[in-house]
Structure 1
Amino acid sequence: MLDPFRQTVERDGIALRLTPREFPLLHCLIRHRDSVLSKRQILEDVWEAE
């Protein structure tokens, strides 16, 4: 379970601790789970401002 508003992740009821970069990466991969993303697409989505 991923909650993008609180930026929390749980698996089997156990909270997972993710780094500030891991959370947006996981969120990106879940949002596009039915697609193959290129490295560029991931970089643009996750590292948009950097």
Structure 2
Amino acid sequence: MQTMRACVFHGKDKIAVQEVPRPKAGVGEAVIRITLTTICGTDLHILRGE
């Protein structure tokens, strides 16, 4: 099984980088590789449970 690293949200103030199974695309779907991302203020509110 192929794996990938992903940020996994486990609840308020709990986020971790973990190895997870790599998803497979179904009919009419696509899997894309994210090479760069950012965090915005809304992301921080969600992380804090606000």
State the TM-score, normalized to the length of structure 1.
0.21
**Bigger radius of gyration, 1 or 2?**
2
State the TM-score, normalized to the length of structure 2.
0.21
Structure ranking higher on relative contact order (CA contacts 8 Å, 6+ apart): 2
